[in-house]
Chains A and B, each alone.
Chain A
């Protein structure tokens, strides 16, 4: 049963940064032992709110702040810690080289007698915290040898060492597979059953609906409302988060009258994928879905010339190709948008303009040298064609939002004049509202005759945006579907089976 008194209660929280009102009088409540979801697009003020609760930022005057019924006038990070408020940030902030026990119990490591490390106390604390989660891990294993899901467990256990009563988890499932996510959800349930309140911050909607009791939705720094999760649908949550209504309809169409641009025949790479065959026609969008580890990215990198197939054939415009590197693939008109925009897809510290022309330098040369006016024209053209919102083209690309960064990444590939565009998880780290914009671009490109391979581990994305869907599992094509002949639930059932 929920107690009448909320564990945490905030009212009228306002904060301004550099003239921008980041939170406009938000209230927020968490009950003891509850699993609560804090939902909203990037930049809506979720992280700012967490930082106010943990004492990193101070709210403006007029705020009311109660924890466990006690009024709190000036929260500080160390006070939050001693009250049992813990945050597990997305990057986990763990020490890769240190053992599981050291990571969980490191507070004990620095508080031993005579400034020495008390190893016994540390291991005991670690064991206790893990037992509370109902898991057992080898305490002496270096953290970097654990899979990500188990590292997450370590981060949760570390939060529990400090007698946590309220744990915030920031995008905890962003890098987990479905089964790992299920495992984490189980852990969160145990935690909640033992009386610890958990606030789940996520924009992956499916799991939010599965795990939470109630949800608080923020939009543009303002409270949209607090809703019971029961009876909530994904599209309703999206609508609440973005304030817009996205009607989805299947767009699949036949392209049989169009020429085949790419034909893949029995393509295999040991331990990655096997016997992959498909045709891709002009203007067609081929969806590729399946769980992480199904071999999708490996297949894409092979088509892009960054890996060599061990057997099979790639036929491009009727000619068999053997790419020695991705430079040859690019010259032949194959473009690959990486799933990892932060470290592979874009060069984050460099400028928007430089990122945009990075793959198409040959097109802006004049007398063998880069021509600044040509470069400016190309950049201006694509920025406006794809509706990228930027300050100056010279600004570092990391200053843009995920959606705008992705538009620049797409523009980078369109600038080479591709025949085939492979989009690998193009909406990772992109807000729900901005995702629709990305797919709008994808549809327009296909209508203009570009052939697209759309890889995604979210079945709805391929269902609503592809003409045909290939379902990959364990490196093989399990089945090919036509979205017009099945429901989304059917597809999800098959992918998650």
Chain B
């Protein structure tokens, strides 16, 4: 048994254990409990719902790994969506051309990046805690967004936006494909890039990073800028899925993104974490919610169970790690 665990840890990493166990448990319980859980329908709905939460979680991930947090992810996403919507409207709304789409995407990305850069610069130069800075940013962006939209929806987009939210290629939903590409980019960023190396290092000790010549300010600013860009991608997907932009869309996702990251084995103090376990954790959360949906349970109950799942996983982790710690107690 223990050699099996070692083999698993070696192949997938120890942080993969939590999400994979949770995945198996959810599959077994719903596979037995709900008749039509193991069907294409379930996976279809998961595949379409996953990307929004997933992209926002990727946006949350980098700040968490530096030991920070970005509380403004949902509003950054919607404000970026709003920037795209404004461009599309300016070019004729439903009649906007393909060229307008390119400009709209550029506007969204620029908005997300600008919001992120502002946040990052504030954190890097004032050394204020990221909770305070991003909380301020969140309130600022929400206020700004509600002011610009008068608190309502912006809608009326060209028909080619529809497939981005609902279309499929080779049976795979387009939002899912976009999400998977983004997961891949984050994976390379974290495991192979200088930025990824630096952000993990300063996540566990900023000063040691400075003394070794890492440009810690630049890393922090880039991290929040990239977080903002990822929010913009999420904002475009949300625009296409809801066929509208509203500053409050997906507001409840904010803390779920933190939950998903921790479920995926991210160290809450920063410095350690990988993308793939977080991806599996996201799939588990969506399966849980879809399964309960199939069983006719209330959607709010699903949210409650997400919280319970997290507590169970944390408790299990403590028990397992104290078991291993007691076995290799040292002098």
**Residues of B contacting A112 with CB < 8 Å?**
none
Give B185-238 interface residues, CB cut-off 8 Å to A: 188, 191-194, 197-198, 200-201, 204-205, 207-215
**Residues of A contacting B215 with CB < 8 Å?**
325, 327
Binary contact readout A326-347 vs B (1 if CB under 8 angstroms, 0 otherwise): 1100100000101000011111
Given contacts A343-B205, A350-B201, A350-B271, contact A338 B211 (CB under 8 A): yes
- Select B194's contact among A45, A325, A365, A412, beta carbons within 8 Å: A365
- Taking the closest CB of chain A, its distance from the CB of B197, in whole angstroms, is 6
- Taking the closest CB of chain B, its distance from the CB of A54, in whole angstroms, is 16
Judged by a CB distance under 8 angstroms, whether B330 is at the interface is yes
Q: Report the separation of the CA atoms of residues A336 and B213 in the bound assembly, to the nearest whole angstrom.
A: 10
Judged by a CB distance under 8 angstroms, whether B331 is at the interface is yes
- Select A369's contact among B188, B201, B328, B330, beta carbons within 8 Å: B188
**Residues of B contacting A43 with CB < 8 Å?**
331
Cross-chain contact A349 with B194 (CB below 8 angstroms): no
Stretch in A16-24, A87-95, A238-246, A281-289 touching the partner: A16-24
Cross-chain contact B329 with A17 (CB below 8 angstroms): yes
Given contacts A369-B193, A370-B193, contact A359 B213 (CB under 8 A): yes
**Residues of B contacting A330 with CB < 8 Å?**
213
**Residues of A contacting B329 with CB < 8 Å?**
17-18
Cross-chain contact B205 with A349 (CB below 8 angstroms): yes
Given contacts A48-B331, A369-B188, contact A358 B271 (CB under 8 A): no
Binary contact readout A358-377 vs B (1 if CB under 8 angstroms, 0 otherwise): 11010001001110100000
**Smallest CB gap from B211: residue in A:** A344
**Residues of A contacting B211 with CB < 8 Å?**
306, 326, 336, 338, 344-345
**Residues of A contacting B328 with CB < 8 Å?**
18
**Residues of A contacting B331 with CB < 8 Å?**
17, 20, 22, 43, 45, 48
- Select A354's contact among B194, B197, B210, beta carbons within 8 Å: B197
Judged by a CB distance under 8 angstroms, whether A348 is at the interface is yes
**Residues of B contacting A348 with CB < 8 Å?**
204-205, 208
- Taking the closest CB of chain A, its distance from the CB of B200, in whole angstroms, is 7
**Residues of A contacting B191 with CB < 8 Å?**
370
Q: Report the separation of the CA atoms of residues A353 and B26 in the bound assembly, to the nearest whole angstrom.
A: 37
Cross-chain contact B192 with A370 (CB below 8 angstroms): yes
Q: Report the separation of the CA atoms of residues A309 and B192 in the bound assembly, to the nearest whole angstrom.
A: 37
Give A38-82 interface residues, CB cut-off 8 Å to B: 43, 45, 48
**Smallest CB gap from B267: residue in A:** A349
Q: Report the separation of the CA atoms of residues A43 and B200 in the bound assembly, to the nearest whole angstrom.
A: 31
Cross-chain contact B213 with A350 (CB below 8 angstroms): no
Cross-chain contact B205 with A347 (CB below 8 angstroms): yes
Cross-chain contact A354 with B201 (CB below 8 angstroms): yes
**Smallest CB gap from A326: residue in B:** B213
**Residues of A contacting B330 with CB < 8 Å?**
17-18, 20
Cross-chain contact B193 with A347 (CB below 8 angstroms): no
- Taking the closest CB of chain B, its distance from the CB of A205, in whole angstroms, is 23
Binary contact readout B318-331 vs A (1 if CB under 8 angstroms, 0 otherwise): 00000000011111
- Taking the closest CB of chain A, its distance from the CB of B144, in whole angstroms, is 35
- Taking the closest CB of chain A, its distance from the CB of B278, in whole angstroms, is 20
**Residues of A contacting B327 with CB < 8 Å?**
18
Q: Report the separation of the CA atoms of residues A365 and B193 in the bound assembly, to the nearest whole angstrom.
A: 9
Cross-chain contact B197 with A343 (CB below 8 angstroms): no
**Residues of B contacting A20 with CB < 8 Å?**
330-331
Q: Report the separation of the CA atoms of residues A333 and B300 in the bound assembly, to the nearest whole angstrom.
A: 60
- Taking the closest CB of chain A, its distance from the CB of B152, in whole angstroms, is 45
**Residues of B contacting A347 with CB < 8 Å?**
201, 204-205, 208-209, 212
- 10 A-B pairs closest in CB distance: A369-B192, A347-B208, A358-B212, A330-B213, A22-B331, A347-B205, A359-B212, A349-B204, A327-B213, A344-B211
Q: List 22 A-B contacts (CB under 8 A).
A: A17-B331, A18-B328, A20-B330, A45-B331, A48-B331, A306-B211, A330-B213, A336-B211, A343-B208, A344-B207, A344-B208, A345-B208, A347-B205, A350-B201, A350-B271, A358-B197, A359-B213, A365-B194, A369-B193, A370-B192, A370-B193, A372-B192
**Which residues from chain B sit less than 8 Å from chain A, CB to CB?**
188, 191-194, 197-198, 200-201, 204-205, 207-215, 271-272, 327-331
**Which residues from chain A sit less than 8 Å from chain B, CB to CB?**
17-18, 20, 22, 43, 45, 48, 306, 325-327, 330, 336, 338, 343-350, 354, 358-359, 361, 365, 368-370, 372, 412
